[in-house]
Structure 1
Amino acid sequence: MANVDAAATATSDEQRLAELGYKQELSRSWSGFQNFAISFTIISILAGCFTTYGQAWNNGGPIAISWGWLLISIPILIIGFCMSELVSAYPTAGGIYWWASKLGGAGWGWFTGWFNLIGLVAVTASVDYGAATFLNLTFGAFDFNLFNGASGDFLSGTFWLFLVVLAFHALVNIAGSHLVAQINGISVWWHVAGVAIILLVLVFVPDHHASADFVFTERFNNSGFSGGSNSTAMFWFYVLPLGFLLTQYTITGFDSCAHISEETHGAADTAAKGVWRSIFYSAIFGWLVLLAITFCATNVDAINKAAAGGEFVSVAIIEQAVSTGWLKVILVISTVGQLFCGAACLTSASRMCYAFSRDGAIPGWKLWSKVNNKRIPQNAVLFMAVWAAILTVPAYFPNASGVPVAFYAVVSIAVIGLYIAYVIPIFLRWRMGAAFEAGPWNLGNKYKWMNPFATVWVALITIIFILPTTPAGVPWNDEFDWNAVNYAPLVTGGVILGVGIWWLVSAHNTFTGPRHTVAELDAELGEPHDGGGGPAAGSGPAAAPAGA
């Protein structure tokens, strides 16, 4: 009976995909749990909570961590609910840009796709760079110093290790979709068990803990702005919001549930649930980890000194709270979790690249939209990995203090690119109103307030995360240094300006949105069409059937 149900689900999935205009090319071997697992892995509280902890510590202090995480998780979950409704209606690998094209037209889809592509390149780059940094720290803890750079420089050595990690993740992704799905399944349990161990160590091993008053009320301003004051308007409306990057960056990448939907059984329901569940559980477990770390911060002066020298604040806190042996345990747990995360990021990025290329939006699209004999978009994997490496090149040139400003810039690019891509189809769904044909998982009338709230929130954080993060990054400042510049607006704005000009000059004539029929796609690729499975040719993507 189970086999019959599985076969019926597979048939239904392929039929729904054909209604949306595509044939089943990718291997549909992922379960609903594995679909949830990839987003949970990409969010990875073992990655973001450790690598960007210092952003909140320096820009707001403990309140930016304890209260900031809790409060910022709420709008992120609302965005997740809005996206769950969309993936339920349109379970395609293109995901976000497909939704925008369907709901607003080819132009909306074009820009959404490029924002999404930028964000996925950046999130892959930032996660793998963070993983390489923690891997290098772990190597150092075990007296293995191969990647300390030619002149003993930690950050330049870390860059070369980053390239090794990126290449390894490309090989893992090319090895097979089923392997990646299994790895993500293991990753979930690694994160759950790892978080439990870290919490137990940080609660019971340290001799002393900070007070609840410190964790929930203390404010810091180590940004350099406003003379270090933590009570001015500058602190509350500029410095503290910069600290929210910790939460906004960590809980991102949940669009992966959509990108893997063509490889997931029962995607219209399971992928939709995977989006919001990955956010919800990550928010809970992440908050517990952050509180545990912050309660261990008993020597603030030493921690601030380490942070000023470029050390990850989370590591500096743990290093002072526990013995070297326990520090090694925590480093290994976090590093392995980050490596899982990086592999999943590249999986999601490559699927979006494959889908966007399949619809002719990327130069050389025929190459990037091909799958190998294992039904893996191998060329798309390599394409996204190479661009992730190129984006991170500035990290090879640290500023004088050794602070990895370039890392935080890439993090900002990831947040800006991904969340703008998330919110465009949410806005378009809101604009469509009752005419939207929902899938089996939907918001009902709640979209009427959730969609506009999500739109305003993303507009707000986009403004915040293009701002300079240090006085030396302000162009008119006497201390201006190019190594301190937040190049997120330069990269994001530059790419969008370029593709915008391209759209106006020629792309609006060649990119008409997602392919209209399976037959049209086959004709473009020069492949025979079997005459079945696709909808009749029309002026745009097939509409989702009511109640599908």
Structure 2
Amino acid sequence: MSSTLQEKEIKDDNKKVEEAVEEGESADADTRLEALGYAPEMRRNLSTIAVLGMGASIIAAPFGLTTSASFALVNGGAASYVWGWIFLSIVSLAIAASLGEICSLYPTSGGVYVWTAHLAPSKQSAIIASYIVGWLSCIANILLCLSIAFGEAQLIMAAISLFRDQNWTPEAWQTILCFWAVLLVAAAVNAFGVKSKSLEPINVASIWWTAGASLIILVTTLAMSDVKRSASDVFVQWNNTSGWPDGWSWFVGLLTPAYVLTGYGTISNLCEEVRQPERAVPRAMLGSVVVASLNGLAFILPLTFVFPSPSELEAALEAASGLVPYVFAQATGTAGGAFGLLFLVLGIGLFASISSFTVAFRCIWAFSRDGGLPGSRWLRRVDPRLIVPLNSLIVSTVIIGLLGLIYLGATSAFNAFTGSCTILLGVSYVVPIAMLLSRRRAPVRFASWGLGRLGWIANVVALAWVLFSIILFCFPTTASITPASMNYASVVVSFFAAFAAVFYFTIARTRYQGPLGAGQHGDRA
């Protein structure tokens, strides 16, 4: 009995020590946050593994590779699908490492726009550049959340089609209703997630779910499929049906992995909810890319070995259920088996919807603190009961829900959101990286989480890729351009850029002054 009591006392003492350490870490992080000009308003209750899980959830490799597979398969086939993923994984590691290094200097929920402001050469350039990046980041996060939630709705419709012999195609309004349901679930989880302390276990669970799903799909498809392609078919054979020249087609096909490997930088919007953000968030950024890259590779490889032959691929791409559900059905031989595999992907999509929504409304809240958005005084409020910026959550839900209505009138225009969020996120990532390079990387010389000599390589790779991808992802995926196949990404980007410019010159110019102390070489770097 005395032994049991002694063990209990030891456990209680250890718990008190852990709580004291956590309080000390939170206090240090809050002091640093106040030095950057922001009052601590959020609860620091997320661990490194939870933030890593959120980053990996937003990337959602198996889910994204399911909903966007056609881009790569039309532009090169299985070889483009595999090698494009490997290539972009390497590039994404460079971008994530570059962002993580800057994040360790300025660990605030403002993320890229705050980094841009502090790395700008002058106060005036800091105001203008950070305002532009802030708007791009907010729009990109909204579009990313929209595209993920809508992709989840489309996969749910695909699951229904599986049980109707893949002959059933949903009406646009049915897909939109399903999309709204997914969006409301994501909003509800985020509204009560902090108070109920459920965000942490949800994001940790997403890591295990995604890894387990990839493994189950790998084993099941290879074990049950009667027809398997050769290694040469998968890794070497080139099947370009896009109409573009082969060299250019390879790059256009990179839209698939580029869209998937894009959301890791958005987890910087959680910096004010992590105890040691200057180390935890950079590690989570890089770690999420590593985890997602491996999961994606484990998902891609078995699928490419059971893909239809090039002569049958066009019919598979036109299947009512979509390409990957069609492949699942062919591999397992039954609708039930295909649904079982698709259910695993749907779980990944739900995690992704929740996580992308988490960062989207925090991005809006953070930018509102500096007066960057219409209604900033209202949007910046943190609900004292739920401990989340509830007003930003509500506005985000309404905006995303209304944007989904575009699908009723123009599915091709709606699909432009996929390319647009990729472009906008890329630009918002690369502006602070470019400013860091312009200062010869001096601010990160003593960063808490630094890259050392590798920093130059990572920064240059990130800058070169994003500048090239801006042009690349404005191209349609096929050379035969019709109103339905046209890439409207440039139109979407131009529209939001024009709206931001009008708001700046009419209202924000007199209100938005950028983050405290930004644009000065003697800043808090």
TM-score, normalised by the number of residues in structure 1: 0.86
Q: Does 2:173 align with 1:166?
A: no
Residues 132/153 of structure 1: CA separation in 2 closer, same or farther (3 Å cut): closer
Residues 363/508 of structure 1: CA separation in 2 closer, same or farther (3 Å cut): same
Deviations 1:479-518 (Å, cap 9, x if unpaired)? Answer: x42x4332211111121123234434553332110246xx
| Correspondence for 2:285 | 275
d(CA) in 1 for partners of 2:404, 2:522: 39
| Correspondence for 2:363 | 352
TM-aligned CA deviation for residue 161 of structure 1: 0.8
| Correspondence for 1:390 | 402
d(CA) in 1 for partners of 2:382, 2:304: 46
Deviations 1:411-456 (Å, cap 9, x if unpaired)? Answer: 1011011111000111111112253144310112332232222112
**Corresponding letter in the other structure for 1:396:** L
**Corresponding letter in the other structure for 2:493:** T
CA contact (8 A) 1:392 1:410 kept: no
TM-aligned CA deviation for residue 46 of structure 1: 2.6
| Correspondence for 2:28 | 12
Q: Does 2:59 align with 1:40?
A: no
Moved more, 483-492 or 432-441: 432-441
Deviations 1:49-104 (Å, cap 9, x if unpaired)? Answer: 11111111112211211111111211111001100101111111011111011111
TM-aligned CA deviation for residue 235 of structure 1: 2.7
**Residue 260 (structure 1) aligned to one of 263, 270, 290:** 270
d(CA) in 1 for partners of 2:164, 2:200: 34
d(CA) in 2 for partners of 1:113, 1:351: 12
d(CA) in 2 for partners of 1:314, 1:144: 15
Within a 5 Å distance, the mapping from 1:405-420 to structure 2 comes to 405-406=412-413, 408-420=415-427
d(CA) in 2 for partners of 1:61, 1:408: 21
Q: Does 2:523 align with 1:543?
A: yes
| Correspondence for 2:226 | 207
Task: Give the secondary-structure state (helix, strand or coil) at the position aligned to 2:40.
Answer: coil
| Correspondence for 1:455 | 463
Within a 5 Å distance, the mapping from 1:186-265 to structure 2 comes to 186-223=205-242, 225-226=243-244, 234-237=245-248, 239-265=249-275
TM-aligned CA deviation for residue 301 of structure 1: 3.4
TM-aligned CA deviation for residue 172 of structure 1: 1.4
**Corresponding letter in the other structure for 1:199:** L
d(CA) in 1 for partners of 2:497, 2:458: 27
CA contact (8 A) 1:13 1:266 kept: yes
* C-alpha RMSD of matched pairs (Å): 2.3
Unaligned runs of 5+ in 1: 227-233, 399-403, 474-479, 517-537
CA contact (8 A) 2:158 2:320 kept: no
Unaligned runs of 5+ in 2: 1-16, 121-125
CA contact (8 A) 1:107 1:508 kept: no
Deviations 1:335-393 (Å, cap 9, x if unpaired)? Answer: 11101101100100111100001110000011111111221111111222222233333
Deviations 1:123-143 (Å, cap 9, x if unpaired)? Answer: 101100110111122244457
| Correspondence for 2:81 | 65
CA contact (8 A) 1:208 1:296 kept: yes
d(CA) in 1 for partners of 2:132, 2:455: 23
**Corresponding letter in the other structure for 1:136:** M
**Residue 49 (structure 1) aligned to one of 65, 83, 87:** 65
Q: Does 2:317 align with 1:307?
A: yes
d(CA) in 1 for partners of 2:522, 2:209: 41
TM-score, normalised by the number of residues in structure 2: 0.90
CA contact (8 A) 2:379 2:391 kept: yes
| Correspondence for 2:437 | 430
Moved more, 132-141 or 346-355: 132-141
Within a 5 Å distance, the mapping from 1:468-487 to structure 2 comes to 468-471=476-479, 473=481, 480-481=482-483, 483-487=484-488
Residues 541/23 of structure 1: CA separation in 2 closer, same or farther (3 Å cut): farther
| Correspondence for 1:533 | none
TM-aligned CA deviation for residue 265 of structure 1: 1.6
Count residues in correspondence.
498
TM-aligned CA deviation for residue 408 of structure 1: 3.7
